[in-house]
């Protein structure tokens, strides 16, 4: 619910008089011609202020002076909304007496009655309802006034609405009834009233939640009891298969659980995941008491969900010791495996719950069962680094040294990866092989090095770990240490311990330990690796990549590392990687200004293109908004072609900066003379891009530098078109004030007004219409009004209709269709109501000869058709026919739209029902063929010709046949029966 702040309109005297209740002063100000319809920045008027304070005398004075009663502020709130929301019933009555719009909607589609109901203003609601036909109008979320009253527990308001005919079965957009909301909030009086008026106690929302689910979720125990006493289904399920008992357990609502169990809720009910309420109680942090209640009531603790997990698995995840004990004492089996093979012991060991591990073992849990990846519980404890769990899992007869998981990893692999030195030493003492290889060829020290576990590395090396062994990717432990070791301790110790030969080997991609150290910015490791590196950098760049350690250092912003490498190798700085990128390009892309400055100072080239998009380093920096890098590069470039260099899409650095909204970069490039009106391969300028992306500051910068606001892309669209299409109203105003045309026509004949109307951008449309004056209907005959109507943009349509000349409302497009045709075709009822309000013609025929009535009938849009049929017959031309001589009745029958056909029959003449189309078929032929029983009956009663023959020489009766052959057979049989005087029914009386 929005808040209604005081509608202060700056410090206008007229507003001060209203808020002070000084009617005499207000009258004097009006006499002095003070503007009574003045608006503030939120479009609020003095009438809004008077309604807000509820002063009927002020309201009357303003009305007599020409004050508008139905004016809307920026949130579409009318004075009646304000008065109803504040509960000023006298003001409400006064406004209604002066033709205030009762059905006016604010931006959330709430009417004054919604606001009165929401805030429990009975008298205001009564005043409004007295003038309403329907009290069930829905807001944008689908809620009626009764929904709002029920949610807030306004029992008296609920009673009033029910007496006035409010529907207890009205559903919001999530299919929730008023009873759902009252139940969730625990408002018993509202529940009682709703059920007493026929509310469905077991109604379901879109997720299949009933009111009982809602009450259980909210812990509303009294509401739960009331619903159960009213015969709510205690075991009803939602879309996840959860009963109210599941929901209560999940939310830890133990009092509700107790009530549901007393009412015989099915205790072992499975949801779609195979979980019982006990699973939820075991898992939930608030479910301890719920679990106690469930197991005492006989819940089965060994039920598996679809992943094979029992409630005991759930308690093991969180280490709920007491709940674990409770489950075991009530029959839970400790060695049940889930789908991955994990028992509760695996789960507890993986999460380090030593007390639960010990408890499970004491109840006989099998420590030698294999779980996920073939791991024992001890593998999982080692991997997670829980030595206290390992103590409970190792026994004197364990064969830990030889136990391998599916990937051939020992417990020592797991411990080395986990990094707990106690676990590593325990596994070494248990006899695990130091150099055992897993499926990927990695030894425990590979894992310790990869995780930079220095103490583990020390222990493993001291116990004979082989540092020269390579894995399946040809990486030694040193490769992994170089990548992960920040302080260099692991690398230093490994290099000192390296058993002869060079540690400077390459992996399968040609990367050395220097690549890995440089990539991760490990300067100490780099310095140590350099001592072992060959003098030529090309000698360490082999295999599948041309990437050097310098590329990696530049990309990742490791300045000191890059300096060390450049100094050591004296490299060619424009060396390209496999994508054609130089170190400068990579550093510029990432915005590493120190590196950019250093490389430029050492002669790195700026005019070099990569192999992917043909970008230069300047493109790379501009694209990502690195203004300091851009400034550095511009100092090394000459103005002109170099600053406007293009990539393979024809984009300049300025275009890329604009596209990504980097204002400082745009300003720098513009100041340095970048061309504003260069176009890319799509003929878009930088201004087109800035507008499309909605970057106001970029647009302002470009316009201040005299960018062309009338430039056209390959489709003839100007930046004004782009702003209108995207709904960027502030940018649009800038463009219009800079000379952009609101009626420029693109290659398809569409103006910006068309685009704003089509996309429903009301504020943009308002600006464009104001600027265009009388020329707003220009270009393609598929007018802006057509555009607004076809997309159901009723607010835009309303704005256009207010400003359009009467004769242009019925403009026909290239196919002869008016806006009324568009509304009929798309079943847009509110738009059709608007068109009729402004006097649009409903009998105009399109190029196929079809009127809007025929279009609606053909499409089966009964809502629009009913609206049209409510008009006087002389306006409708119901008997009109199209180029095939089909009437609206023919078309509805052809498409099988029975309700539409019956609606047309109520208005059409007897001549029309006998009229044949170009295939000589009457409406009866077609209705019979389509099986429209009620239409056939009505046509017969209206006296249509039963013997009329179509172009195939069939009567309506023969058209009932599914195909021509059957029709011919039927005709022969009927003819023979008539000749033999055989009755058509076994009942001789018929």
pLDDT tens, position by position, 571-602:
788 999 989 999 999 999 999 999 999 999 99
Confirm whether 261 is domain-assigned: no
What is the DSSP code string of 212-264? HHHHHHTT-HHHHHHHHHTT--TT---TTS--HHHHHHHTT-HHHHHHHHHTT
Question: CB within 8 A of 24, min separation 6: which ones?
Answer: none
pLDDT of 136 > 90? The answer is yes
Where is average pLDDT lowest: 184-188, 699-703, 837-841? 837-841
Reported as a single tens digit per residue, the pLDDT across 398-426 is 677 788 999 999 999 999 999 999 999 99
Say if 246 falls within a structural domain. Answer: no
Domain that holds residue 636: 572-675
According to DSSP H, which parts of 438-571 are helical? Answer: 444-450, 454-462, 477-484, 489-497, 513-519, 523-530, 549-555, 559-569
pLDDT value at residue 90: 97
The pair of structure tokens assigned to 663 is 């204002």
598 falls within a domain: yes
Domain-located, residue 659:
yes
Q: Is residue 662 part of a domain?
A: yes
Amino acid 977: pLDDT: 64
The answer to whether residues 597 and 667 belong to one domain is: yes
User: What's the mean pLDDT in 101-116?
Assistant: 96
Is 630 in the same domain as 660? yes
Residue 355 is assigned to a structural domain of this protein: no
Report whether pLDDT(980) > 50.
yes
- Highest mean pLDDT (candidates 559-573, 575-589, 794-808): 575-589
Question: How many alpha carbons fall within 13 Å on the CB side of residue 230?
Answer: 23
Asked if 668 and 638 sit in the same domain, the reply is: yes
Are residues 498 and 563 both part of a single domain? yes
Each residue's pLDDT tens digit, 726-775: 999 999 999 999 999 999 999 999 999 999 999 999 999 999 999 987 67
Q: How far apart are CA 527 and CA 529, in angstroms?
A: 5
Q: How far is CA 696 from CA 641, 660, 661, 699, 703, in A?
A: 27, 12, 9, 5, 11
Backbone angles phi, psi at 913, to 5 degrees: -70, -20
Which pLDDT does position 973 carry in this prediction?
Answer: 67
Tell me: do 553 and 588 sit in the same domain: no
Higher pLDDT: 414 or 988? It is: 414
Asked, for residue 338, whether it belongs to a domain, the answer is: no
Residues 946, 883, single domain; the answer is yes
Reading the block at residue 308, the tokens are: 């094979």
What's the mean pLDDT in 617-621?
97
Residue 112 is encoded by which pair of tokens? 């004054």
Count the domains in the chain: 3
Query: Are 819 and 809 contacting, i.e. CB atoms less than 8 angstroms apart?
Result: yes
Which tens digits make up the pLDDT trace of 474-522?
Answer: 999 999 999 999 999 999 999 999 887 678 888 988 899 999 999 999 9
For residue 988, the model assigns a pLDDT of 40
pLDDT of 7 > 60? The answer is no
Give yes or no for residue 724 having a pLDDT over 90: yes
Question: How many CA atoms are closer than 13 Å to the CA of 724, on its beta-carbon side?
Answer: 31
Confidence of residue 2 (pLDDT cuts 50, 70, 90): very low
pLDDT over 50 (residue 990): no
Q: Which residue has the higher pLDDT, 529 or 776?
A: 529
Give 491's contacts (C-beta < 8 A, 6+ positions apart): 478, 481, 482, 485, 513, 517, 522, 524, 525, 528, 529
Q: pLDDT (tens digit, 9 = 90+) per residue, 240-266? A: 999 999 999 999 999 999 999 999 999
* Region 808-835 average pLDDT: 94
Q: Which residue has the higher pLDDT, 875 or 197?
A: 197
Q: Which of 643, 675, 707 is the last residue of a domain?
A: 675
Q: Please write the tens of the pLDDT for every residue from 282-340.
A: 999 999 999 999 999 999 999 999 999 999 999 999 999 999 999 999 999 999 999 99
Q: Same domain for 489 and 561? A: yes
The residue among 552, 568, 584 that closes a domain is 568
Q: 6-20, 556-570, 767-781, 853-867: lowest mean pLDDT where?
A: 6-20
Co-location of 491 and 550 in the same domain: yes
| The pLDDT of residue 961 is above 70 | yes
User: Does the pTM of the predicted model rise above 0.85?
Assistant: no
* pLDDT attached to residue 962: 76
Which of the two residues, 146 and 806, has the higher pLDDT score?
A: 146
Residue 671, in any domain of the structure: yes
pLDDT in tens, 897-917: 999 999 999 989 988 999 999
585 & 652 share domain: yes
What is the pLDDT of the chain when averaged over all its residues?
92
**Residue 3 in this model has a pLDDT that exceeds 50:** no
Residue 538 has pLDDT above 80, yes or no: no
- Do 614 and 540 have their domain in common? no
Q: Which of 675, 703, 722 is the last residue of a domain?
A: 675
pLDDT at 926 over 70: yes
Q: Based on the domain organization, do 554 and 590 belong to the same domain?
A: no
- Residue 548 and residue 583 in one domain: no
Domain at 648, CATH number: 1.25.40.20
Structure tokens at 217: 């979720």
pLDDT at 971 over 80: no
What tens digit of pLDDT does each residue of 421-449 get? 999 999 999 899 999 999 999 999 999 99
Q: What is the pLDDT of residue 610?
A: 94
Helix axis angle for 663-671 and 627-635, nearest 10°, is 20
> Do 96 and 132 touch, CB atoms closer than 8 A?
no
């Amino acid at each position: 619910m929005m808040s209604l702040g005081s509608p202060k309109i700056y410090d206008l005297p007229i507003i001060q008089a209203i808020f002070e209740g000084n009617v005499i002063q207000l009258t004097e100000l009006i006499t002095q011609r003070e503007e009574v319809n003045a608006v503030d920045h939120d479009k609020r008027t003095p009438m809004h202020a008077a309604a807000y304070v509820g002063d009927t005398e002020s309201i009357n004075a303003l009305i007599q002076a020409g004050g508008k009663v139905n004016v809307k502020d920026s949130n579409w709130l009318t004075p009646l909304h304000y008065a109803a929301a504040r509960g000023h019933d006298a003001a409400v009555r006064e406004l209604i007496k002066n033709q205030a719009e009762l059905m006016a909607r604010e931006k959330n589609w709430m009417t004054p009655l919604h606001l009165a109901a929401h805030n429990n203003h009975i008298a205001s609601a009564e005043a409004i309802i007295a003038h309403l036909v329907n009290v069930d109008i829905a807001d944008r979320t689908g809620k009626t006034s009764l929904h709002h009253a029920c949610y807030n527990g306004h029992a008296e308001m609920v009673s009033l609405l029910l007496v006035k005919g409010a529907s207890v079965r009205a559903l919001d957009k999530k299919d929730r009834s008023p009873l759902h909301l009252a139940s969730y909030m625990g408002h018993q009086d509202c529940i009682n009233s709703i059920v007493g008026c026929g509310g469905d106690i077991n109604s379901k929302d879109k997720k299949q939640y009933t009111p009982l689910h809602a009450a259980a979720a909210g812990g509303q125990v009294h509401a739960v009891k009331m619903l159960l006493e009213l015969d709510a289904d205690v075991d009803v399920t939602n879309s996840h298969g959860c009963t109210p008992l599941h929901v209560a357990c999940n939310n830890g609502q133990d009092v509700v659980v107790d009530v549901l169990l007393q009412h015989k809720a099915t205790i072992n009910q499975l949801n779609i995941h195979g979980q019982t309420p006990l699973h939820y109680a075991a898992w939930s942090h608030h479910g301890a008491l719920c679990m106690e209640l469930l197991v005492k009531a006989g819940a089965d603790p060994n039920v598996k969900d679809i992943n094979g997990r029992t409630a005991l698995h759930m308690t093991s995840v969180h280490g709920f010791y007491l709940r674990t004990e409770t489950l075991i004492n009530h029959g839970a089996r400790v060695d049940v495996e889930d789908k991955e093979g994990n028992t509760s012991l695996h789960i507890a060991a993986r999460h380090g719950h030593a007390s639960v591990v010990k408890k499970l073992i004491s109840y006989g849990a099998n420590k030698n069962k294999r779980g996920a990846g073939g791991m024992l519980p001890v593998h999982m404890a080692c991997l997670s680094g829980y030595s206290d769990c390992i103590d409970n899992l190792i026994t004197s007869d364990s064969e830990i040294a030889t136990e391998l998981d599916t990937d051939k990893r020992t417990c020592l692999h797991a411990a080395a990866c986990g990094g707990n030195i106690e676990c590593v030493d325990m596994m070494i003492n248990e006899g695990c092989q130091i150099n055992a290889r897993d499926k990927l060829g990695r030894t425990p020290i590979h894992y310790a090095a990869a995780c930079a576990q220095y103490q583990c590395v020390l222990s493993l090396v001291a116990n004979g770990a082989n540092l020269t062994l390579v894995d399946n990717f040809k990486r030694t432990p040193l490769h992994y240490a170089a990548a992960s070791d920040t302080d260099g301790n692991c690398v230093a110790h490994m290099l000192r311990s390296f058993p002869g030969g060079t540690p400077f080997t390459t992996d399968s991609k040609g990367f050395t330990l220097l690549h890995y150290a440089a990539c991760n910015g490990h300067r100490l490791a780099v310095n140590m690796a350099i001592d072992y590196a060959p003098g030529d950098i090309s000698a360490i760049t082999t295999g599948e990549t041309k990437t050097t350690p310098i590329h990696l250092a530049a990309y990742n912003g490791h300045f000191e590392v890059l300096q060390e490498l450049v100094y050591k190798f004296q490299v060619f700085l424009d060396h390209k990687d496999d994508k054609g990128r130089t170190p400068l390009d990579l550093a510029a892309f990432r915005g590493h200004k120190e590196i950019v400055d250093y490389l430029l100072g050492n002669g790195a080239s700026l005019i070099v293109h990569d192999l992917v998009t043909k970008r230069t380093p300047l493109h790379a920096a501009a694209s990502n908004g690195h203004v300091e890098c851009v400034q550095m590069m511009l100092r090394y470039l000459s103005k002109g072609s170099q600053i406007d260099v293009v990539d393979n899409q024809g984009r300049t650095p300025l275009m890329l900066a604009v596209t990504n909204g980097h204002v400082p970069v745009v300003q720098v490039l513009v100041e340095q003379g970048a061309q504003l009106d260069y176009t890319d391969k799509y003929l878009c300028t930088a201004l087109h891009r800035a507008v499309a992306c909605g970057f106001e500051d970029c647009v302002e910068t470009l316009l201040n530098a005299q960018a062309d606001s009338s430039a056209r892309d390959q489709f003839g669209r100007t930046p004004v078109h782009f702003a209108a299409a995207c709904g960027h109203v502030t940018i649009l105003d800038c463009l219009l004030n800079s000379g952009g045309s609101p009626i420029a026509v693109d290659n398809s004949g569409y103006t910006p007004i068309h685009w704003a109307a089509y996309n429903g951008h009301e504020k943009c449309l308002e600006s464009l219409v104001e600027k265009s004056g009388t020329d707003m209907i220009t270009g393609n005959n598929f007018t802006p009004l057509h555009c607004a109507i076809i997309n159901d943009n009723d607010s835009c349509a309303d704005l256009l209709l207010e400003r359009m000349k009467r004769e242009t409302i019925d403009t026909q497009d290239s196919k002869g269709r008016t806006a009324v045709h568009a509304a009929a075709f798309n079943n847009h009822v509110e738009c059709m109501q608007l068109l009729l309000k402004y006097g649009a013609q409903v009998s105009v025929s399109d190029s196929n000869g079809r009127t809007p009535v025929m279009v609606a009938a053909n499409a089966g849009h009964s809502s629009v058709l009913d609206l049209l049929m409510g008009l006087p017959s002389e306006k409708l031309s119901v008997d009109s026919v199209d180029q095939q001589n089909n009437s609206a009745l023919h078309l509805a029958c052809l498409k099988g739209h029975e309700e539409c056909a019956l609606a047309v029959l109520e208005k059409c003449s007897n001549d029309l029902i006998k009229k044949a189309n170009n295939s000589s078929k009457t409406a009866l032929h077609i209705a019979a063929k389509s099986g429209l029983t009620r239409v056939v009956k009505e046509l017969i009663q209206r006296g249509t010709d039963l013997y009329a023959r179509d172009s195939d020489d069939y009567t309506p009766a023969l058209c009932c046949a599914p195909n021509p052959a059957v029709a011919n057979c039927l005709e022969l049989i009927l003819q023979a029966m008539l000749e033999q005087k055989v009755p058509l029914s076994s009942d001789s009386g018929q």
